A and B are shown apart, each in its own frame.
Chain A
Amino acid sequence: SAVISQKPSRDICQRGTSLTIQCQVDSQVTMMFWYRQQPGQSLTLIATANQGSEATYESGFVIDKFPISRPNLTFSTLTVSNMSPEDSSIYLCSVEVGLEQYFGPGTRLTVT
């Protein structure tokens, strides 16, 4: 199993600013994922972050808007850049351990 923590748990930000979300795992994992979930909606994969390589972004998400760092096997950050109200969402990191995927508690972002 894996225990994941995220910081911050929530934030209210002004449009045009950037927010960096941190994800810490209690064990070393190869693959980490960043998802976005609008309230009451499903999860959409933003990117896959593997240590030692560039993040792989899904269609509709670009590195300039969502830069990701993966400095080691237990930590990753996602930055939401130049925010607009449309970026208001819950951002979750997850890891794959064996056949299972574990999610962090999420970061609730509100952009005003």
Chain B
Amino acid sequence: GQQVMQIPQYQHVQEGEDFTTYCNSSTTLSNIQWYKQRPGGHPVFLIQLVKSGEVKKQKRLTFQFGEAKKNSSLHITATQTTDVGTYFCAGRSYGQNFVFGPGTRLSVLP
């Protein structure tokens, strides 16, 4: 079945540094979503990417969907302590349900 992988598993950064998490699927995706889960909270939808090579920005967050639609990345510029949490990607193959990656846990040191 479809597998979704994410790296790194953990990332510790100093406040103000940049952060990137990468998501890779074993199959071609129809779309991919990104979520943020704060400690003790539930996943919160951030964005969906659909088109090959698509790039979307939300303030300091930049999301990219690979040309082959098998990988994606989330980049945060100048991290803040409010960015702390686990970032999950969820990939959907055509006609299938979303499969979540294992997540990247981000900690930001003030």
Q: Please state if A101 and B98 are interface contacts (CB–CB under 8 Å).
A: yes
A contact residues around B97 at 8 Å (CB):
33, 45, 48, 58
**Does B103 lie at the interface of the complex (its beta carbon under 8 Å from any beta carbon of A)?**
yes
The secondary structure that dominates the A interface is strand
Interface size of B by CB at 8 A reads 18
Size of the A side of the interface (Cβ < 8 Å), in residues, is 18
Please pick, from A43, A44, A58, the residue contacting B43 in the complex, using a CB distance under 8 A. Answer: A43
CA distance A45 to B88 in the complex (A): 14
Q: Roughly how many angstroms separate A100 CA and B103 CA in the complex, as a whole number?
A: 19
Chain A residues in 8 Å Cβ range of B88 = 42-43
**A59 CA to B48 CA, complexed, in Å:** 25
Q: Judge whether B63 is part of the interface by a CB distance below 8 angstroms.
A: no
A48 proximity list for chain B (CB < 8 A)? 97
